[in-house]
Amino acid sequence: MVYKSALAMLSLLALPGCVVMQPDPTLEAIKLISVAITGVASMTPGPTQNTILHPHAPVKNLCIEWNRGVALPDFVPALQSELQRHAIESRVYEAGMQPSGCGAELAYTAFLQWEKRSFGDDYAPYLSYAALTLRQNGTVLASANYEMGVMGYDKWTPTRKKLAPLVDAVLAGN
């Protein structure tokens, strides 16, 4: 064991360049804390933006207009799960085919990007922008959007966690 450690140290000394090591435990602690904060920030979605909320009666059920342009398979299930968390029933309908009995309509748009995950070989999609608009009889009741932060720390945050603040903002009048 000692032989391997000595061999590793000799190989480092033989390499050109320099190695900077911090002997101060305070600096090492600061580095560790900054890495931890970055890790936590990467799992926290950014705040909602451009929120519009008009006073309205509580919504008990709504219909979600299917958007074929959003190719993120977990988007609508995540949206419906967040609506269920607010005790709101939802149905999905094809654009232009709104069923009767909808208390309100929810339209959405979203953009996704593709990138390789750290230590991964395959590309995967992630939600980079989403907007929700709640209407009743054609009148906008509420609207909000999410946009990934400049640093992109939250890019791999699950879709449901990104949509939760949006649903909360749109249903704040409930």
Residue with tokens 């709101």: 88
pTM of the model: 0.68
How far is Cα 85 from Cα 81, in angstroms, rounded to an integer?
6
Find the Cα–Cα–Cα–Cα dihedral 94, 131, 152, 28, rounded to 10°.
-120
Inter-axis angle of helices 159-170 and 75-85, to 10 degrees? 50
How far is Cα 142 from Cα 169, in angstroms, rounded to an integer?
8
> Which pLDDT band holds residue 12 (cuts at 50, 70, 90)?
low
3-state secondary structure of 119: coil
Are 54 and 140 in contact by the 8 Å Cβ rule? The answer is yes
Residue with tokens 């590793």: 8
Q: Give the pLDDT confidence score for residue 155 in this predicted structure.
A: 87
Mean pLDDT of 4-15: 52
CA 5 to chain centre: 44
Q: Give the pLDDT confidence score for residue 57 in this predicted structure.
A: 79
**Phi/psi at 154 (5° precision):** -95, 15
Mean pLDDT of 1-29: 56
Which residue from 133, 160, 156, 130 is spatially nearest to 48, judged by alpha carbons? 130
Structure tokens at 115: 């990138």
Q: State how far the alpha carbon of 19 is from the alpha carbons of 9, 15, 108, 120, in Å.
A: 11, 10, 52, 29
How far is Cα 59 from Cα 79, in angstroms, rounded to an integer?
15
Q: Give the pLDDT confidence score for residue 42 in this predicted structure.
A: 46
- Summarize pLDDT for 77-135 with one digit per residue, the tens: 999 999 999 999 999 998 878 788 888 999 999 999 999 888 888 998 999 999 999 99
**In the predicted model, is pLDDT for residue 11 greater than 60?**
no
Q: What percent of the chain has pLDDT over 70?
A: 68
